[in-house]
Structure 1
Amino acid sequence: MNEITDQLNRHWTNIYYHLHYTHQEKITHQAIRIMQHIEKNQHATVGFIAKKLSVSHNTASEHIKRLIQKGYIEKIRKQMDERKVFLSLTQEGKDVLHYNTALDQDKLAAILDRLSESKQKRILEAFATLAEEAKKCSSF
């Protein structure tokens, strides 16, 4: 199994290296991680982020404060209980996250256009399977 995981990692890093968007924003890896946690967890709080990053509440709060100042994140108070404050990505935050974590759609489309429909379907099925199984091993 080690050989398969090595090959899969090698393929994935090659795919990302060649197909990622050209980064426009100056943003830290830590900021991207925070934004990913918020995107994948609609009830993310400062405490949740602190736990996921293994940092203190104050450290997480400072990172989040900077992302709010940049306009990438906003705090949303629950109407039923205003003591609860959740974090949400702004549209600008969603765009920045997309361009820093996703594959360039134009490059990807150019590749897929060269492949047969059956190969496209096999790739999609393989990624869907991997994504579903990945959710099962995650502590999110």
Structure 2
Amino acid sequence: MINTEQALATALEDIDALKGRVEELEQARLRDQSGFWQHAFNRLANQDFIRGLFHTEILRAAGLIEKAPISDIEAIAKKTYVDEPSYTLDPKLAGYNLEAVKSELRGEYKTADDFNPMFASKD
């Protein structure tokens, strides 16, 4: 009888330890996912802001709002989002986003990945 009680007590301790480990793994998974999503949101926000600056410049160029040279807008975007970013996005990725927006203005509609050598064609 004592062996059964000891075995039961040991089994309950093992179950509690496993529950604790499962909770640790779930917390780690949530942290990993939040880090991934934060990175994704930073990248999208960066790209959207740069596109917004350039779309504003298109309106200026069309005479719909006060004139300003595109080089000034590009310089602001480059300084804020490529040279001196205030977030965790890799400056290289920010540069690729900037190139994608410039290509859009030329009617090429390339994505940031098109400028990333990591995704270059291996043909």
For normalisation by structure 1, the TM-score amounts to: 0.24
Name the structure with the higher helix share.
2
Name the structure with the higher strand share.
1
Task: Considering Cα pairs closer than 8 Å and 6+ residues apart, tell me whether 1 or 2 has the greater RCO.
Answer: 1
Which structure has the greater CA radius of gyration? 2
For normalisation by structure 2, the TM-score amounts to: 0.26
